[in-house]
Amino acid sequence: MSEQIISQRQDLTYLSWDKIRNSSGTAGSFLKAYFELNGVKTYYKLSNYDAYKGIIGHECVNEVIVDRLLSYWGIDHLSYQLIHADILVNDTPITTWLCASKDFKKPSEGKIALDAYYQVEHQDGESPLEFCIRNGWEATLYKMLVLDYVILNRDRHGANIEVLRDRKARMIRLAPLFDHGLSLLFSCMDENALDKADVLEDRRVNNFIGSQATRDNLSLIPVGKRPELKPVDEQVVATLMDGLDEALPSAWREKIGRMILLRWKAYEDFCHQG
């Protein structure tokens, strides 16, 4: 996992950052950049940025934690690298942690947001989940619903699920899972908020598939089709947090680890109830 985290500060002051919408309802915004070298694009993303306070979130660290969890479960997803770097935002120097990823599209593929694709291609009266099942994406969507419950993903809107289309090969596929920053305890900006956070609380979420409650969405999965995922225990949680000491304070690492463990156990209890 050492290659996934670059702790030695990198000079990334050449990157140009663009603002994107913050759909979480919290203050601040998210900045993205990309750099192309020899035809290969690398995409960079910052945690929540406030024009006055600077970087105030840890969404980039969340991306790496969830990346590791998805790898452990063997679920297709976008991989992230966590980088300690010097950057410039509005000509202001900032030293921060950011995450980098590569393009998951093949050269012959185009992409479209799932909600846009659904809008054009769905049948009358067909729900987004029914639409995905008809297209053969049922197993992936069920794994996604379990993941989003365990990490309390607050932002699985219709553009955070993508469809990849290869017109020449006449093939479509669901993109690997991506964009998990607004999960775990992303909204806890200080230790007071962290102490008060109930890791089992099912907060309101922005979902395209199912309802606005991740716990309720587990009921969308038929009993006989619940994903067979490897269990999460304290050793697994320790692996998820490995090497993050400099990027995330211990209080956050400990509570995020407890959150993942307890929500996994709650999912197991849900399955045992039939």
Cα–Cα nearest to 236, from 39, 7, 65: 65
Average pLDDT estimate for 59-82: 97
Q: Band of the pLDDT at 256, cuts 50, 70, 90?
A: very high
Query: Is the confidence at residue 142, as pLDDT, over 50?
Result: yes
Yes or no: say if 151 and 23 are a contact pair by the CB < 8 Å rule.
Answer: no
> Over 70: is that where the pLDDT of 124 sits?
yes
Among 71, 102, 133, which residue terminates a domain?
A: 102
Q: How far apart are CA 43 and CA 218, in angstroms?
A: 32
Say if residue 14 is in the same domain as residue 120: no
Which residue, 102, 126, 156, sits at the end of a domain? 102
**Domain tally, the chain:** 2
Question: What's the chain's average pLDDT?
Answer: 93
Q: How confident is the model at residue 24 (pLDDT cuts 50, 70, 90)?
A: very low
What's the length of the chain?
Answer: 274
Boundary-marking domain end, from 70, 102, 134: 102
pLDDT digits (tens, 9 = 90+) for 169-217: 788 999 999 999 999 999 999 999 999 999 999 989 999 999 999 999 9
Check: CB of residue 152 under 8 Å from CB of residue 205.
yes
Residues 119 and 226 in one domain: yes
Same domain, 244 and 116: yes
**Which pair of structure tokens corresponds to residue 202?**
């099912």
Q: Do 239 and 193 belong together in one domain?
A: yes
48 and 169 both lie in a single domain: no
Question: Are residues 115 and 73 part of one domain?
Answer: no
Output the domain CATH number for residue 136.
1.10.1070.20
Mean pLDDT score, 103-127: 94
Assess whether 131 and 166 both reside in one domain: yes
Residues 80 and 131 in one domain: no
Do 125 and 254 belong together in one domain?
yes
Asked if residue 82 and residue 7 are part of one domain, the reply reads yes
The domain containing residue 243 runs over which residues? 110-272
- Evaluate if residue 3 carries a pLDDT over 90: no
The verdict on pTM exceeding 0.75 is: yes
Q: By the 8 A CB rule, do 131 and 121 touch?
A: yes
Residues 123 and 81 in one domain: no
The answer on 131 and 264 residing in a single domain is yes
- At residue 27, the pLDDT reads 46
